[in-house]
Chain A
Amino acid sequence: MRTLRSADIVSGIFICLLGIAVALAAMSIPALMGERLPAKALPLLCGVLTAVGGLLLVVRAITYKGEEIPVEWPDMEGWRHIGVTMVALVIYVAVIELLGLPVASMIFVAVLVPYLGMSVLAGILTGIGTAVSIYLMIHYLSLSFPLGVLGA
């Protein structure tokens, strides 16, 4: 995974497997009467092409003779930053319907802003600002966003 060559091999295998899964799933699409283009044709084609594409990616990477190109993976600190951001994002989305968009967004912003390097105060202020603007937007455009705890 360090070099583009090994990364291509890994991603090629993954894409190939994905294509095989898609192709297998496409096989079970029922045919309908009166069709000129069978319902499974295009999904199957996509699956097969994906698998072939993945395979070629692997072959191309293995037979590659040029200079090795390193992939710019993040350092430990970088991974931790991405990891925390992603986890925060997942938790945020998971609680949207429970807490409602304004509150969930407020907490998300208020936590992430300080984590990424600003002061806690900046985080809280941004969070409150976000919550208020989202609330006003939902209210005035009467959008069907979940209001959660704020909803009447």
Chain B
Amino acid sequence: MKNRCYSLRNVFALAFLCVAMLWTASASAEDKFPSKQLSYVVTFDPGGQSDREARRQQKYLHQILGQQVVVDYVVGGGGAVGWKELARAKPDGYSFYTINTPHIILQPMQQNVGYKTEQIVPVAMFQSTPLGLAVNTDSPLKTLDDLLAAAKKDPGGVTIGGSAAFSGHHMATLRLEKLAGVNFSYVPFTGSAPQMTAILGNHVDAVFANSDDLVRFKDKLRVLAFSTEQRFPHFPDAPTLKEKGFDMVDSIDRGVGVPVNTPAEAVATLEKAFLEIANNPEIQKEMRDQGFVPLSMGHDASVAYIKKVTAEYTELAKSIKK
């Protein structure tokens, strides 16, 4: 028994020594940002748009910032789990999280999700997917007018599939309903893969979907309209909703954000790196080919943009609440 206590004490002393050594080793060299490995936290499942953009940027970020950048995942609740963590993360700039509009605006508006839109400081926004309204090529609905006429004839009889409820897709459907004075049945799916499966299998009549998904299934879908200012380059024949007299422009925009109180110097360094990548013509071409719209909004532009979008959705939410 005595022997045992003795050896345990030895172990503790040894452990303590090791700990102390490591502590001193890590405490040194903390001058210019970034001085150590950074963590790029993706708040959606691997393989999604946010993840693919992060993977695309990873090696460039490493080159520009001169430090390793690791992609991590904090997934759940349509991004909410990650953004809740963002709001509580250490504000040192070493962890930045993917952010999406309108998600970060709509979620806190709907309920208490553990974070507020104001708790997220955008660093840059660099990727956008405008929303398009599409049907299966087998569908009897040839044009937007056909779709609206069908919905007028049978209110609620036309189903529109989208990704999740209270999402950008859902809001776009509601907006179109309001502007066109019709009623659809919005069917939410748990992501773009099941959403696309449903339209390819003719289980829903139409989808409001992200531009990159529409481009991927180009040969199986007929795009009726795009919710953009100008016609979308991949689908020059599809009119914009504006052309058709419905004043709406909807997109899902992606970027990265950090918690409030992150030093301005760190935000500026990250912003510069992200904008340099976003402005790289090669990357922009790659993104366009895949159906994305490259953005290059810095911190200030992103803040203003989020403010503008928040105002729009607040108004929409008010008008649809009965």
Contacts and interface: CB of A to CB of B under 8 A. Distances in A.
Interface string B166-192: 000000000000000000011000000
A144 B39 contact: yes
Contacts, number: 29
Contact of B19 (A32, A103, A110, A142): A103
B4 A149 contact: no
Contacts of A142: 70
Given A120-B4, A149-B22, A152-B26, A110 B11 contact: yes
B8 interface: yes
A106 B7 CA distance: 15
Contacts of A150: 22
A107 interface: yes
Q: Is the interface of A mostly helix, strand, loop or mixed?
A: helix
A34 B173 CA distance: 12
Interface residues of B, number: 19
B186 A34 contact: yes
A124 interface: yes
Contacts of A144: 39, 70, 72
B7 A120 contact: yes
Most buried by B among A33, A34, A110, A124: A34
Nearest to B7: A120
Nearest to B173: A34
B39 A120 contact: no
Interface in B1-26: 4, 7-8, 11, 15, 19, 22-23, 25-26
Interface string A46-61: 0000000000000000
A38 interface: no
A95 B176 CA distance: 53
A114 B4 contact: yes
B165 interface: yes
A151 interface: yes
Contacts of A151: 26
B36 interface: yes
Given A34-B186, A120-B7, A149 B36 contact: no
B19 A149 contact: yes
B15 A107 contact: yes
Contacts of A106: 15
A1 B133 CA distance: 62
Contacts of A114: 4
Contacts of B322: 33
Contacts of B15: 103, 106-107
A120 B19 contact: no
Interface in B47-105: 70, 72
Contacts of B25: 152
Nearest to A128: B11
A124 to B, nearest CB: 6
B66 to A, nearest CB: 16
B36 A124 contact: no
Given A32-B165, A34-B186, A114-B4, A124 B11 contact: yes
Interface in A20-65: 32-34
Nearest to B5: A120
A120 B11 CA distance: 10
A127 to B, nearest CB: 8
B259 to A, nearest CB: 17
A119 to B, nearest CB: 9
Nearest to B25: A152
A151 B25 CA distance: 10
Given A110-B11, A144-B39, A152-B26, 13 more contacts: A33-B322, A34-B186, A103-B15, A106-B15, A107-B15, A120-B7, A124-B7, A124-B11, A144-B72, A149-B19, A149-B22, A151-B26, A152-B25
Interface of A: 32-34, 103, 106-107, 110, 114, 120-121, 124, 142, 144, 149-152
7 contacts: A32-B165, A34-B185, A120-B4, A124-B11, A142-B70, A149-B19, A149-B23
